[in-house]
Structure 1
Amino acid sequence: MSQSRFQLRGTMLVALALLLGFIGFATANQPSAQAATYSVYKTTSMTKTAYHRASSKGAVYNELHTKKLANLSSYPNTTWYATKEVILKHGSTKAVYYKVTNGAKTVTGYIWHSYLTKGKAPFTLSVAKAAVAMDEKTGKVLWSKNANTPRAIASVSKLMTLYLVEQKVANTSATWSSKVTTSYSGLKSMGASSVYGGFKFTKSSYTVRQLYLAALIDSSNNAATALGQWVAGGSTPTYNTKFIKLMNAQAKTWNLGKATFVSASGVEQSALKTYGYSVSGGNANEVSAKDVALIAKHLITDYPAVLTDAAKGSVTVSGQLCYNYNNLLPGRKYYEKALNVDGLKTGYTDLAGYCFVGTGKKSGHDRLITVVLHDANEFTETRSLMDHVYSAGLI
């Protein structure tokens, strides 16, 4: 009796397995249902109304929600202007979106209404310790935050060094093909350092042009130091000391307030002493955001060809790749076409934090120079600052 029940149970299990197998086969061979897509249910024109983000959540999409155009987290200080209310249908769900354009007119798309709040965005840079926006043509300060307080500026210092290099090439018998001696052991050690190096000195000399590109694009500290010595007339630390005096003299000529320089590269003396390049004075170059902008203004105005080089994403110098870390350039993460950023200089040390001098010339406007110092979001905040200046009609 019990044996027949087991046999019946076994037969039923086999039949069930065959049935499930057939259902699974049939299901696997059915066309898969497509995910519900977005469609326009209703569009209503509205009076142009200012909004800003309600939180860092959300994104700007194209009308049918198939492409993300921008994350609101990247636009913390942006005012968006809505001109249409659009109801999008997604499956059985309907939601209200606004068609918006940012004030700088660089992004247009659709945002879910709950991610926005009415009114213009109160503009601020929350991360930068100091910042300034300046009209390159007039020198007028358009926006600022702690702009007159001297701070450590890291490799942004190289803008002064490069200006003095340009000045020597322009006003003396020196040329871009002139040779710069790079055999000093401290320079070689600096170039080979995993922290302070990058462009390695494998030869006893390079041309001025080669070291200029290495210092500007790759932010090579040893290249900047060697160039400084060359400007001062030699190739040893004694001439580095003379060059520092030239930097400070130029700052006084430009009336740069309390700017002080102790390094051709921007590396602090606490690190430079290892390589034989410490001088008397403070530990770091200290310059205000406004004065950094003025240095950039002089460099761009007097020697505009610097922008052609600063706009390069990378360049090979004597067989070594020099990479430009300006992430506002075309093809980079924070690029925004309408801003037309083509320079200028990045910088970082533990003391100075992330620093960045940006510049661009939007069509129909004067060239804009921005400076952010000690700013962990240097590219996002620079872009926000540029967008604000344009959208607010400050330039």
Structure 2
Amino acid sequence: MTNTQTKSQRAVFVMIAFLMAIFGLMTTTTSASAASYSVVSTTSMTSTAYHRTSASGAVYNLTHTKKLASLSKYPNTTWYATKKVVLKHGSTKAIYYAVKNGAGTVSGYVWHKYLTAGKAPLSLKYAKAAVAMNASTGKVLWSKNANTPRAIASVSKLMTLYLVEQKVDDTSATWDSKVTTSYSGLKSMGNSSTYGGFKFTKNSYTVKQLYDAALIESSNNAAIALGQWVAGGSTPSYNTKFIKLMNAQAAKWNLGKASFVSANGMEQSALRSYGYSVSGGDANLVSAKDVALIAKHLINDYPAVLTDASKGSLTVAGQLCYNYNNLLPGRKYYQASLNVDGLKTGYTGLAGYCFVGTGKKSGHDRLITVVLHDEDEFTETRSLMNYVYNSNLI
């Protein structure tokens, strides 16, 4: 063995020994750090509600060796503390609370400075107006600008569908009754890249076919055709009569300042080119609370609507109708525990994104939520639903 080889080998051995020493030191330091959190005292306390004061905090296990959850992911969560624990780390002592979220899915220990007493307030960042309502009692459980009338886009179709259900229920009409769809304005609307979706390729469809197209695909021409049918005809003059029926029903339900000018939620500035403008303002104006009340009447009086509204898609008269409710099973924002099975989406440039959601979580009454002029309607609806349930408001 040459001197050069010997020196090289020695250098390698020295490096290996050095790295092993460093690794051993790191291991020892990590173990020491983990072991340095010790319990000084534990005091039981009456279950007390807290919410986060900082998004930088975290929930740890008792020995502080494992992060169980980041508070940044729980902006609207109420944590319930049942113990006050003093932990010692080196020469420093700190107070931690033993906490559990309302759903009981996350528990651990949080430094007390990251929490403040009281239930977590809910803040919907994007929705201009919102409400959560008990579908059985009509009680408002949470609200934001809930009494201010706003444009509601295709959410308006809930009123139209209610009046369709009412006619089928109260007259000799049936779901198989034929609705005339030959008016050129309706066919043109159905072919529109902006307002279409369900094309009128025939001069008549059944009530049920148009009902499904309006509910699931949110077909604008189907909603107008149904409204004319409810009013007794198939021309724009009957659309005007139907608008009066919509407002009469709103008055019957004491819906405050609700005002309807279209059967489908399109603004009149858009409807005019199709021959469907009426006197009045440009848009249907309804408050979030009154939208929830319309949904309440529809669900309670005609509960079968939920069977249809829960379908992700449906082929109607040879055309695929797609449901844009992204809280349904298999969709991006689906959460199994919420059991969402309806109800209606909506969008126009004036109204923004609107959504009426409903579901019945196991062991609770049915919940109705409404968000109007939102930019993240499904995330905020899910947050609102979870907040109501986790706060035991329903």
TM-score (normalizing by structure 1): 0.78
Deviation at 1:133, TM superposition (A): 1.2
Does the C-alpha gap of structure 1 residues 352 and 74 become closer, same or farther in structure 2, counting only changes over 3 Å? farther
**One-letter code aligned to 1:302:** D
- Contact 2:175 / 2:207 at 8 angstroms: preserved in 1? yes
| Kept after mapping to 2: 8 A contact 1:75/1:384 | no
Shift of 1:99: 9.3
Deviation at 1:348, TM superposition (A): 0.7
Q: Within 5 Å, which residues of 2 pair with 1:263-274?
A: 263-274=262-273
Does the CA contact (< 8 Å) of 2:133 and 2:369 recur in 1?
A: yes
Query: Taking structure 1 as reference, are residues 351 and 312 closer, same or farther at Cα in structure 2, changes over 3 Å only?
Result: same
In the TM superposition, residue 117 of structure 1 has moved relative to its aligned partner by 4.2
Any residues of structure 2 matched to 1:118-157 within 5 Å, and which? 118-119=116-117, 120-157=119-156
Q: 1:138 to 1:49 in 2, by over 3 A?
A: closer
| Matched residue, 1:241 | 240
SS of corresponding position for 2:374: coil
Identity %: 78
Using a 3 Å threshold, how does the CA distance of structure 1 residues 123 and 317 change in structure 2: closer, same or farther?
same
User: Do the aligned partners of residues 263 and 169 (structure 1) sit closer, same or farther apart at CA in structure 2, a change above 3 Å counting?
Assistant: same
> Quick one: which amino acid aligns to residue 339 of structure 2?
N
Counterpart position of 1:212: 211
What are the equivalent positions in structure 2 for 1:157-176 lying under 5 Å apart?
A: 157-176=156-175
**In the aligned structure 1, how far is the partner of 2:199 from the partner of 2:73?**
36
Q: How does 1:25-36 map to 2 (within 5 A)?
A: none
- Amino acid of the structure 2 residue aligned with 1:228: G
CA distance in 2, matches of 1:70, 1:157: 41
Secondary structure, in 3 states, of the residue corresponding to 1:354? strand
Q: What is the DSSP-based 3-state SS (H/G/I as helix, E as strand, rest coil) of the residue aligned with 1:217?
A: helix
What whole-Å deviation, never above 9, does each CA across 1:65-123 have from its counterpart, x for those lacking one?
Answer: xxxx99977753222457899xxxxxxxxxxx9997542x2854789979964554222
Instruction: Report the equivalent of 1:279.
Output: 278
My pick for the range that moved more, 292-301 or 142-151, is: 142-151
The answer (yes or no) to whether the contact 2:78–2:391 under 8 Å persists in 1 is no
Relative to structure 1, the CA distance from residue 370 to residue 111 in structure 2 (aligned partners, 3 Å threshold; closer, same or farther) is farther
Deviation of 1:280 (Å): 0.4
Q: What residue in structure 1 maps to residue 298 of structure 2? A: 299
Q: Distance in 2 between matches of 1:58 and 1:205?
A: 61
Deviation, structure 1 residue 124: 2.3
Q: What's the counterpart of residue 387 of structure 2?
A: 388
Residue 367 of structure 2 corresponds to which residue in structure 1? 368
Question: Which structure 1 segments of 5+ residues have no match?
Answer: 1-39, 62-68, 86-96
User: In terms of mean alpha carbon deviation, does 247-256 or 46-55 score higher?
Assistant: 46-55
Question: Which secondary structure state, in structure 2, belongs to the residue aligned with residue 374 of structure 1?
Answer: strand
CA distance in 2, matches of 1:307, 1:59: 40
- The answer to whether structure 1 residue 334 and structure 2 residue 333 are counterparts is yes
Q: Which amino acid aligns with 1:202?
A: T
CA 236–55 in structure 1, closer or farther in 2 if over 3 Å, else same: farther
Distance 2:237 2:310 in 1: 34
- What is residue 198 of structure 1 aligned with on the other side? 197
Between the aligned partners of 1:356 and 1:319, the Cα distance in structure 2 is: 27
Q: For residue 264 of structure 1, what is the amino acid of its counterpart?
A: A
Amino acid at match of 2:392: G
Over aligned residues, Cα RMSD in angstroms? Answer: 3.9
- The CA distance in 1 between the partners of 2:147 and 2:188, in whole Å, is 36
SS of the residue corresponding to residue 226 of structure 1 reads helix
Distance 1:190 1:367, change over 3 A: same
Q: Give the Cα separation in 2 of the matches to 1:151 and 1:324.
A: 24
Task: Quote the Cα distance in structure 2 between the aligned partners of 1:307 and 1:376.
Answer: 25
SS of 2:308's equivalent?
helix
Counterpart for residue 258 of structure 1: 257
Aligned-partner residue type, residue 136 of structure 1: A
Cα 1:182–1:111 change in 2 (3 A) is farther
Structure 2 spans left out of the alignment, 5+ residues: 1-33, 61-67, 85-95
The corresponding residue for 1:350 is: 349
Contact 2:191 2:197 in 1 (8 A): yes
Supply the AA of the counterpart residue of 1:222: N
* CA contact 2:101–2:107 (8 Å) conserved in 1: no
Q: Are the counterparts in 1 of residues 180 and 205 from structure 2 also a CA contact under 8 Å? A: yes
Amino acid at match of 1:382: T
> In the comparison of the two structures, how many residue pairs are matched?
359
In 1, Cα distance between equivalents of 2:70 and 2:196:
35
Q: 1:132 Cα deviation (Å)?
A: 1.1
The alignment's TM-score, normalised by the length of structure 2, stands at 0.78
2:316 maps to amino acid? V
Q: What corresponds to 1:88 in structure 2?
A: none
Q: Residue 52 of structure 2 contacts residue 114 of structure 2 at CA under 8 Å; is this kept in 1? A: yes
Give the secondary structure class of the aligned counterpart of 2:294.
helix
Tell me which amino acid in the other structure corresponds to 1:251. A
Shift of 1:159: 0.3
Whichever residue aligns with residue 143 of structure 1, its letter is W
Corresponding residue number in structure 1 for 2:321: 322
Q: Distance in 2 between matches of 1:357 and 1:70?
A: 31
**Partners of 2:70 and 2:189 in 1: how far apart?**
40
* Change in 2 beyond 3 A, CA 1:206/1:118: same
In the TM superposition, structure 1's runs of 4+ consecutive aligned residues that sit over 3 Å from their partners are 40-61, 69-76, 80-85, 97-102, 106-120
